[in-house]
Amino acid sequence: MTQGRPESDPTISDRQGWMGLLARAAPDRLAELMPGPLPTHALLRAPEIGAVMVRGRIGGTGAPFNLGEMTVTRCSVRLEEGTVGHAHVQGRDRDHARRAAVIDALMQGPGAEAVKRSVLDPLARDEAARRHARAARAAATRVEFLTLVRGEDA
């Protein structure tokens, strides 16, 4: 029941923020924002496609149950100066995972502000726009029972 709640440590909650954003990003868009060649890095764990069992809760809030799996690709890298970056990204794109791991490492170093401006901020704007577009269309389908009898405009 702790999901969605940022951890109390601000550096952890910041990192959760960008890792989640990178995991959800469209691989093509991420590659466009961060074209190669990537900064020199060693692969601690080469990109690996796998599955994660997604769980739900009985009745929405009760005991967990296994809903089904989703594809996830993970990767861990170390930059030349020694910073380690990790990624678990949705889908089966190895470059996506590798890029996300490199960005995770860069975000812990002195270049973080520049990476945030050039990569993370545009991703966050894309995501907000995508969500708003769905939410706004859904909102237009809200049934307003009470407005049916509003008479003062007649």
Partner 1 sequence: MYVAVKGGERAIDAAHAFLAEDRRGDPGVAELSVAQIRQQLALAVNRVMAEGSLFDPDLAALAIKQARGDLIEAIFLIRAYRTTLPRHGASRPVDTGAMACVRRISATFKDAPGGQVLGPTFDYTHRLLDFALLADGEVPPAPQAPPREGPVPHVTDFLGRDGLIEPVPPCDDAPRDLTREPLELPADRALRLQALARGDEGFLLGLAYSTQRGYGRTHAFVGELRIGTVAVEMDIPELGFAVGIGEIEVTECETVNQFKGSRTEPPQFTRGYGLVFGQTERKAIAMALVDRALRWRELGEDFAGAPAQDEEFVLSHADNIQATGFLEHIKLPHYVDFQAELELIRRLRAEAMASPEAAE
- The residues of the shown chain that bind partner 1, judged by CB under 8 A, are 1-4, 7, 12, 15-16, 19-21, 23-24, 48-72, 74, 76, 86, 88-92, 131-145
Report, in Å, the least distance between residue 94 CB and partner 1.
14
Q: Which is nearer to partner 1, 125 or 132 (CB)?
A: 132
**CB of 34 vs partner 1, minimal distance in Å:** 19
DSSP state of 82: S
Q: Which long-range contacts (CB under 8 A, 24 or more apart) does 66-70 make?
A: none
Minimum distance from residue 1 beta carbon to partner 1 (Å)? 7
**Cα-Cα-Cα-Cα dihedral sign, residues 75, 79, 85, 91:** negative
Tell me if the bond preceding 37 is cis, omega within 30° of 0.
yes
Q: Residue 105: name the closest of 87, 122, 118, 93 by CA.
A: 87
Nearer to partner 1, 91 or 109 (CB): 91
Please report how close the Cβ of residue 37 comes to partner 1 at its closest, in angstroms. Answer: 26
What gap in Å lies between CA 65 and CA 51, rounded to an integer?
A: 16
Nearer to partner 1, 42 or 133 (CB): 133
Q: Would you say 57 or 117 has its CB closer to partner 1?
A: 57
